[in-house]
Amino acid sequence: MSTVAVTVLPSASASATADSEASSGDAWGVAPATRAVAATDARLVELGDETDMIVLGGRVDQDALRAAIDEHPRVRVVQLPSAGVDAYVETMQATARDGLVFTSAKGAYSAPVAEHALALTLATLRSLQIRARASSWEREQRGISLNGASVTIVGAGGIGTELLRLLQPFDVEVTMVRRTDEAVPGAARTITVDRLAEVLPTSDVVVVAAALTGGTRSLLGAAEFAAMKDTAVLVNIARGPLVDTDALVTALAEGRIGAAGLDVVDPEPLPDGHPLWAEPRALITPHQANTNDMTEPLFQARVEANIRALAEGGDPEGVVDVEQGY
């Protein structure tokens, strides 16, 4: 295996420094990326003419990233730290060139995020968002069973397919919604996004697990909520702008849908005093479907795999379609 020169951004000149700096905040991925370099016998180098691969260990200035790619033509792989790449689309498209591949963490974090989606689904169906706010014993009966329910999952990537697997013991009927109508094994049916309106009226649960692109922004809005059952729950563990927040606030306030379990919102962070905080039908978690402790070993494994792929001439994992934006 040929030696690959890897640059980790933000800078990680030494593993000890990376461990101390990346324990929290925007540089969470520096330490696992640095460990991945050591595990593969690649070389950790400062950004320069010998850099073959750039690994982002967290947030970086996009102008600086563009310059790093444009000014170093030897770079063949840029590894992004997240599964969703909407924040990097303009940079990727501006720096695209022959021989350069962008890879994301898509698929790497599927298990913890799908687990969180299941937790939000069960919680909202069982009205735990209301029970948690209670200060006295309530005699009204609340709750819907997931067993035998009709579930629509929007997005058939790693998270969507992992959630499909987790739902199997509940004997649910799952409709997968994706860009193409290629069947998803285990789903009762697979339809394209333009047919979403057909399944909303019969869905007990709608889970948003799609990539955010120009075509999916505000994918669920007032018309979609109006089409849903007034007992249906919406779960979003993908990206906040996939859902029209104002329309969701109205739908919840007017009882057009039963509840919403949200790990992502728009805007994000959700400001203090926003109507969603006071909405009794809303259960909100602060974009922590995967914490750093969950993510770090998964990101390290992805970086290791792609260093080896680059060294051995294999196919990297998580390749991004730059034009499509995911």
Catalytic residue numbers read 239, 268, 287
| Residue 81, Cβ density class (10 Å: 0-12 exposed, 13-18 middle, ≥19 buried) | buried
- Residue-wise burial string across 39-78, b where 16 or more C-beta atoms lie within 10 A, e elsewhere: ebebebbebeeebbbbbbbbbbeeeebeebbeebeebebb
Q: Looking at this protein, which amino acid is placed at residue 152?
A: T
Measured CA distances, 59 to 9, 22, 80, 259, 301 (Å): 9, 11, 10, 33, 19
Task: Say which residue the tokens 């640059």 belong to.
Answer: 7
Cβ-proximal residues to 271 (8 Å cutoff; 6+ apart), any chain: none
Q: Around Cβ 325, how many Cβ atoms within 10 Å?
A: 20
**CA–CA dist 4, 155 (Å, integer):** 34
Q: Is the alpha carbon torsion for 213, 218, 224, 230 positive or negative?
A: positive
Q: How many CA atoms lie within 13 A of 102 on its CB side?
A: 30
Cβ-proximal residues to 323 (8 Å cutoff; 6+ apart), any chain: 93
**CA–CA dist 179, 240 (Å, integer):** 19
Q: Around Cβ 308, how many Cβ atoms within 10 Å?
A: 18
